[in-house]
Chains A and B, each alone.
Chain A
């Protein structure tokens, strides 16, 4: 099937997400769609897969114009999209999730449907257990199921949105092999949305680059990566060099620390983190690193072991008490956990930095103005936080960190940010560490972990690996440990 996009435009309020984009996708080929955050990749793919309608422009399949009212329309026409966060129903079983939306009689023919599903899995080389619950599966397995669903629904063109975020190196190679087979043997068209150049180079036949809503060029792959980078960025972001670690006094010490949730038990952890040090936690989502980070902040109760902050034993740590000791937590979802929608920047500032019974409005506005300047935030003191872009929200969160922060715990500090903003965030963190703060962060981005940490701990199935020296380890070793190797 030959898919054409003809002058697609879409805007959200004042933001032009796509500006007259025309592209053609041929059968049997794998395309890599590249671009910075906000370049318009997601919007374009949502339009192609029927989640959104364009303001103007046409989609043609084999030269026939189409109008998709829903993702189901698009799938019926042969276009399916696989999201980073799979569109499945967590409490369902694999079988129920597969059957949802499929036509058929009132009753569910469990046995025959389960057999069908297993056969379908075998055909594409996936191991499927129909009666397991979706919420008990790994992200990689959930992606495989989504892929199966789209393929069995008749998808000829598959869009994959950042499919390798949060899956292991082994799962990634399984995925890439099946994708290659789909293109070569079954003549499917594949579009990989990514901002990881290596992946695109590895898998794709052709690159397509968007920048600020425009199509700015393409290239046959493989080609020199510099060419792609030049297309993606009008001006190349400068990367801050990694500073030398300064070893100070221990800020955080864990001895045989145990954390338990109904889903996962974290095996005893021993760890110490010193002032001026950056420690990265690697692992697939749900392998225990999040539990450790939250437990260290007093956001989860300890099931055993010992935790010391700046040498002081904390048998029943609570986040509010920890804050008073200089510990600060930056969660991944900025508007979900971090900032309060509906409150202004100045109100946030007054909330965290003032004392006394009453709010001193003038003082908080003045202070906010200073922070806006220092942290280069595009906003006014009276702006509500939800009006800000993701990057600016992250800057506000850093502006709210008090100067005397001793220990910063951060989940995915740069997730969803473009290179420029990410680099700026790390400059700020490095500044903090030079002033003597210790930093513990987790990330799904292995490059970030390697580049920014002094030491790295890898989590798999609730168990923490030995600590790796970030200068001496490699992507391969991390991938091996993430997959559960020793």
Chain B
């Protein structure tokens, strides 16, 4: 493989990592039945908080902790609003999205465009020497390794561990979970907050690693992309992570091709690309377009492919918890 392509692949992996972390976090939360729609605002605010904390304290660890704390707090508000006060998750999440955006602009006004600290590269001995895979995956930094481990660990946790059973049952059939002794409400709080903290880590990973620094609207739009990729991934972290890689790779490749062929005016197409991709992917995954494509395939292929392409959301996702 061309060294140039390897460099591009490595940068795709690096750029995907925060988004993967956010997708894993949101997947955990939605599997438990809580939609945290505030992702876009959470990412912005935690990116700002992470940068500011690291800048002031000169400590990366404090930066990431601040990001995680902010993300967890936002998720806690969504969870509290829906689980305790029975308000619409969508409404609370939407308001928090805007509030997070404006808070990040206001609180971050004195941290704009400052040189900060960043996550250093940390090649893993031995593994980095594997041909192709080594330089792409193992010659990276801790954020990338964290995303990798998180993806595998959360996939195992959700689908193959005993607590994962409780997690999924709370999102699919809370009354059955309750009958087996699962504390559904507590569990939903816990995973919502954990998911929010991961989103916060993702936000800090942007300002401290992938898009180093802070400016107003630093990550605007990425939260919505993450929410769409959770759907694309069929509420599985592994498939979500693949979705992120696919998304970032498509964008990188098309941007390289476009810049060569179109020059100046490519910027318009390039900016529009993520949103067109998002629409297309959602049409295929959850929409009628996907169904029509499937219907044209030979019958024996249809069922397994439908399972692969079109996953159903957790049945009780976003539903009010009925008790008493």
Which residues of A line the B interface, CB within 8 A?
Answer: 51, 70-72, 87-92, 96, 99-102, 104-108, 262
**Bound complex: CA A99 to CA B180 (Å):** 10
Residues of chain B in range 247-275 having any CB-CB distance to chain A below 8 Å? none
Residues of A within 8 A of B180 (CB): 72, 100-102
Tell me if B162 and A105 are in contact (CB < 8 A). Answer: yes
Tell me if A106 and B161 are in contact (CB < 8 A). Answer: yes
**Bound complex: CA A71 to CA B172 (Å):** 19
Tell me if A100 and B182 are in contact (CB < 8 A). Answer: yes
**Bound complex: CA A90 to CA B169 (Å):** 9
Main DSSP-derived SS at the B contact region: helix
Tell me if A72 and B160 are in contact (CB < 8 A). Answer: no
Is B128 among interface residues, defined by CB-CB distance under 8 A?
Answer: no
Is B181 among interface residues, defined by CB-CB distance under 8 A?
Answer: yes
Tell me if A262 and B169 are in contact (CB < 8 A). Answer: no
* Option from A71, A90, A262 in Cβ contact (under 8 Å) with B178: A71
Chain B residue at smallest Cβ distance from A109: B162
Cβ of A326 to closest chain B Cβ, rounded Å: 30
Tell me if B179 and A72 are in contact (CB < 8 A). Answer: yes
Is B113 among interface residues, defined by CB-CB distance under 8 A?
Answer: no
Main DSSP-derived SS at the A contact region: loop
Given A87-B179, A88-B176, A262-B306, the answer on whether A100 and B160 have CB atoms closer than 8 Å is no
Tell me if B182 and A106 are in contact (CB < 8 A). Answer: no
Tell me if B161 and A100 are in contact (CB < 8 A). Answer: no
Is B165 among interface residues, defined by CB-CB distance under 8 A?
Answer: yes
Residues of B within 8 A of A96 (CB): 165
Is B141 among interface residues, defined by CB-CB distance under 8 A?
Answer: no
**Bound complex: CA A475 to CA B180 (Å):** 37
Given A89-B176, A90-B173, the answer on whether A262 and B162 have CB atoms closer than 8 Å is no
Given A89-B169, A92-B168, the answer on whether A100 and B306 have CB atoms closer than 8 Å is no
**Bound complex: CA A71 to CA B323 (Å):** 13
Tell me if A89 and B160 are in contact (CB < 8 A). Answer: no
**Bound complex: CA A70 to CA B168 (Å):** 20
List of 8 A-B pairs having minimum Cβ-Cβ separation, nearest first: A101-B180, A72-B181, A87-B176, A71-B179, A87-B179, A100-B165, A89-B173, A89-B169
Is B320 among interface residues, defined by CB-CB distance under 8 A?
Answer: no
Cβ of A72 to closest chain B Cβ, rounded Å: 4
Tell me if B176 and A107 are in contact (CB < 8 A). Answer: no
Residues of B within 8 A of A105 (CB): 162
**Bound complex: CA A108 to CA B173 (Å):** 20
* Option from A88, A101, A104, A108 in Cβ contact (under 8 Å) with B160: A108
Interface string of B139-163 (1 = CB under 8 A from A): 0000000000000000000001111
Tell me if B303 and A100 are in contact (CB < 8 A). Answer: no
Cβ of A275 to closest chain B Cβ, rounded Å: 37
Q: List 14 A-B contacts (CB under 8 A).
A: A71-B181, A72-B179, A72-B181, A87-B176, A91-B172, A92-B165, A96-B165, A100-B177, A104-B162, A105-B162, A106-B163, A107-B162, A108-B165, A262-B303
**Bound complex: CA A105 to CA B160 (Å):** 12
Is B216 among interface residues, defined by CB-CB distance under 8 A?
Answer: no
Cβ of B208 to closest chain A Cβ, rounded Å: 32
Given A70-B178, A100-B180, A262-B303, the answer on whether A89 and B163 have CB atoms closer than 8 Å is no
Given A100-B180, A101-B180, A101-B181, the answer on whether A90 and B162 have CB atoms closer than 8 Å is no
Given A72-B179, A89-B168, the answer on whether A107 and B173 have CB atoms closer than 8 Å is no
Residues of chain B in range 196-230 having any CB-CB distance to chain A below 8 Å? none
> Size band of the B side of the interface?
20 to 34
Among B162, B168, B173, B312, chain A packs the most CB atoms within 10 A around the CB of: B162
Given A100-B165, A106-B163, A107-B160, the answer on whether A90 and B182 have CB atoms closer than 8 Å is no
Interface string of B159-193 (1 = CB under 8 A from A): 01111011011001101111111100000000000
Cβ of A90 to closest chain B Cβ, rounded Å: 7
Residues of B within 8 A of A72 (CB): 179-181
Tell me if A108 and B161 are in contact (CB < 8 A). Answer: yes
Interface string of B87-121 (1 = CB under 8 A from A): 00000000000000000000000000000000000
Chain B residue at smallest Cβ distance from A71: B179
Residues of B within 8 A of A92 (CB): 165, 168-169, 172
Is B309 among interface residues, defined by CB-CB distance under 8 A?
Answer: no
Residues of B within 8 A of A106 (CB): 161-163
**Bound complex: CA A91 to CA B159 (Å):** 12
Residues of A within 8 A of B161 (CB): 106-108
Residues of A within 8 A of B179 (CB): 51, 71-72, 87, 101
* Option from A71, A88, A99, A104 in Cβ contact (under 8 Å) with B173: A88
**Bound complex: CA A92 to CA B164 (Å):** 12
Cβ of A367 to closest chain B Cβ, rounded Å: 35
**Bound complex: CA A92 to CA B171 (Å):** 12
Q: A90-B173, A100-B182, A108-B162 are in contact. List 14 more A-B contacts (CB 8 A).
A: A70-B178, A70-B181, A90-B315, A91-B168, A91-B312, A92-B169, A101-B166, A102-B162, A102-B180, A104-B162, A105-B162, A106-B163, A108-B160, A262-B306
**Bound complex: CA A42 to CA B306 (Å):** 40
Residues of B within 8 A of A99 (CB): 162, 165
**Bound complex: CA A101 to CA B162 (Å):** 8
Tell me if B163 and A90 are in contact (CB < 8 A). Answer: no
**Bound complex: CA A321 to CA B168 (Å):** 41
Chain A residue at smallest Cβ distance from B324: A52
Residues of A within 8 A of B169 (CB): 89, 92, 100
Residues of B within 8 A of A100 (CB): 165-166, 169, 176-177, 180, 182
**Bound complex: CA A99 to CA B168 (Å):** 13
Among B168, B175, B176, B177, chain A packs the most CB atoms within 10 A around the CB of: B176
Interface string of B293-324 (1 = CB under 8 A from A): 00000000001001000001001000000000
**Bound complex: CA A102 to CA B169 (Å):** 13
Among B173, B179, B181, B315, chain A packs the most CB atoms within 10 A around the CB of: B179
**Bound complex: CA A282 to CA B312 (Å):** 30
Cβ of B88 to closest chain A Cβ, rounded Å: 15
Given A106-B161, A108-B160, A262-B306, the answer on whether A90 and B172 have CB atoms closer than 8 Å is yes
Residues of A within 8 A of B315 (CB): 90-91
Cβ of B69 to closest chain A Cβ, rounded Å: 27
**Bound complex: CA A72 to CA B178 (Å):** 8
**Bound complex: CA A96 to CA B163 (Å):** 11
**Bound complex: CA A278 to CA B158 (Å):** 50
Cβ of A52 to closest chain B Cβ, rounded Å: 8
Interface string of B15-36 (1 = CB under 8 A from A): 0000000000000000000000
